[in-house]
Amino acid sequence: MMAGPSNDKCSRSVVCNDDPPPLSITLKELRDFPKKVKHWDVDYSPVDFLLLTAEDCEFLACHHYLRDSFRSYEKSIGYVYFGKMGDDEEESLKVALVKFSIESLDPGGSQTSAKNAITLLRPKATFLVGFCYSLNPDKAQLGDVVISSQLTIDHYKTPVSRDVGNLVKSAADGWKAPLQNPEAQKVKVHWDGEILSCSDLIGAEQQCQLHPGAIAVEMEGIGLFAAAHDIKMEWLVVKGVCGFVPGSATKNNSWKTFACVMAASVVSNLLSNSFVFGDWHNYGGTSIKVHVSFLYFSEPLNVEKCQEKLKSYYDTFSKVKIVPWDESSSIEINKIYTPLNWVRDHRKPSGVT
């Protein structure tokens, strides 16, 4: 509940001009991040989950929940922050955090960056995390978190997968909003929300009229959905409310930060139990993918080491793909390669004594 004079009718009602209640956590500033970058290593992949963000406040909120984080650089996707999530430190989830420009998530400008990140990092699922705008205060209040049970783009409504849908039903279980005073505001998690994804806020109001069942509007989901749909990737949109449609362009940026922190903390709660995802498959399965774009070496090539690594992959997976572009074409190695013995021919050429 909001602090102040009691008013049952407006107990959860806040306006954009009000400052949000103080958070119990402190986010880093971009200037506080270390400059050190680790050389890219093929062992960084696969990760368990990939978090995509578009703006600084979204990135900073997600980064706060990464443990033992470090950054690396890969030419096709840029800087990537790696870290751990999960309550069990011995069996933590491996999480990658990437910040893209809004243009790179635009399907017209290209969802190539998101697709490159997914195919390179091979996560079990990709989450788009940040802020959104509520259609009106009756559907979702400032600071509330909306999780996409389905994403609506133009006239297409796409639900999340069964596994992701089952996961988000418990998104608020055990979750506590990171507030200095837990009674300062009641933050609600809408785990069954329909989110509209628009390229900008200009056409958002018209889209809202066409889809009265929607709860919120956001601007980056189009690119993520296009990329994830093309490569059949698990996805989820998790956004905190920072304003309302119409008149959604709030001048109070503190609500954006507040909304992003709420969304990131819910994601952290979703990923708190690593064993839940033990039977979730990474993108690409166990097949070996070679990305020529990132095959560079910081030291002389050690052929024997490469052979041993390939052998370990073969010993582990015991399968290879006959047709590179067909995920279902895997076959047992023993059915392809037949052990051969050296045979010495003792016959002599004609005329030799």
Residue from 69, 80, 78, 86 nearest 45 by CA = 80
Which pLDDT value is given to residue 8? 39
How many CA atoms are closer than 13 Å to the CA of 156, on its beta-carbon side?
10
The tokens describing 323, both together, are: 């047709």
CA atoms within 13 A on the CB side of 297: 6
pLDDT attached to residue 291: 39
Percent of the chain residues topping a pLDDT of 90? 51
- Find residue 147's DSSP bridge partners: 238
pLDDT value, residue 245: 86
pTM for the full predicted model? 0.76
pLDDT of residue 39: 95
DSSP letter, residue 94: E
Residue type, 72: S
DSSP 348: -
Query: How many contiguous H segments (helices) and E segments (strands) does the chain have?
Result: 8, 12
Q: Residues 50, 96: contact at Cβ < 8 Å?
A: yes
229 vs 52: CA distance, rounded Å: 16
d(CA 28, CA 25): 10
Q: Decide: 250 and 243 in contact? Cβ < 8 Å.
A: yes
Length of the chain, in residues: 353
The structure tokens listed for 36 are 């050190």
DSSP 201: S
Per-10-residue mean pLDDT for the chain, 353 residues long?
A: 37 66 97 94 95 95 98 93 91 94 54 83 95 93 96 84 94 97 96 87 74 88 77 92 76 88 98 94 63 43 68 55 56 57 60 59
Question: Tens of pLDDT along 103-129?
Answer: 655 554 346 778 889 999 999 999 999
For position 60, what pLDDT does the model report? 98
Task: Outline where the chain has alpha helix (H).
Answer: 56-64, 102-105, 112-121, 162-168, 204-210, 221-230, 253-270, 303-317
- With a CB cutoff of 8 Å and minimum separation 6, the contacts of 164 are 125, 234, 235, 236
pLDDT in tens, 159-197: 899 999 999 999 999 999 999 999 999 999 999 999 998
What's the pLDDT score for residue 1?
33
Which helix (H) or strand (E) segment holds residue 249: the answer is none
Contacts of the segment 152-158: beta carbons below 8 A, 24+ positions apart: 152/194, 152/195, 152/196, 152/197, 152/211, 152/214, 153/196, 153/197, 153/221, 153/222, 153/225, 154/207, 155/210, 157/194, 158/225, 158/229
